[in-house]
Amino acid sequence: MDIVEMTARELKAAMVAKDLSPVEVTEAFIAQTEQADPEINTFTVTCFDEAREDAKAAEVRFDSDDAPRLLKGLPLAVKDLSLTKGMRTTFGSLIYADYVPDRDDLVVQFVRDAGAVIIGKTHTTEFGAGNNTTNRVFSPTVNPFDHARTSGRSSACSPRRWPDIIRWTR
């Protein structure tokens, strides 16, 4: 099975069994994002270099005796509604078009502490209000099955939609 089609549970089990490494998993999701996103426009910001470093650190932690972390080594995208330290956060609004926070929202800190590897931020409507992924900062996310349509809803481009996007790009 292709790495990007595996569930989080399957990925974690494969990493624990050392059938896959956090670096391999992260690289697979980065490659898929680089291939699919130019057409679909799901991501507003990517942080692939940082993700690669975090994946390497997660790989080292798999070999150590540190406390288990629920999301250790799993790639994750954060909605552009959450503050991410050092990473552009626009809330889909021109008011915050160039805003780079100096701290993480609590939920982002929780997933980082749980060992997630953040690969970027996903599109949203302005302040999460609305029924499509159109805002004045970024061009809209398109429906992976019909580019004449938007993907719809503010959470349409969340990671749970990646399997649809992945299938569309094959």
Q: 3-class SS at 66?
A: coil
Q: For 38, list phi and psi in degrees, rounded to 5.
A: -55, -30
Count of domains for the chain:
1
- pLDDT score at 166: 47
- pLDDT score at 20: 95
Cα 25 from chain centroid (whole Å): 13
pTM value? 0.83
87/104 Cα distance (integer angstroms): 9
Burial status of residue 64 (CB atoms within 10 A of its CB: 0-12, 13-18, 19 or more): exposed
Q: 3-class SS at 93?
A: coil
124-149 pLDDT tens trace: 989 988 777 778 898 888 888 887 77
Cβ-based neighbours of 157, under 8 Å, separated by 6 or more: 40, 42, 122, 123, 133, 141, 151
Q: Supply the range of the domain harboring residue 127.
A: 3-169
Give the type of residue at 60: V
Residues of the chain with pLDDT under 70: 63, 65-68, 152-170
- pLDDT score at 154: 47
> What CATH number does the domain containing 24 carry?
3.90.1300.10
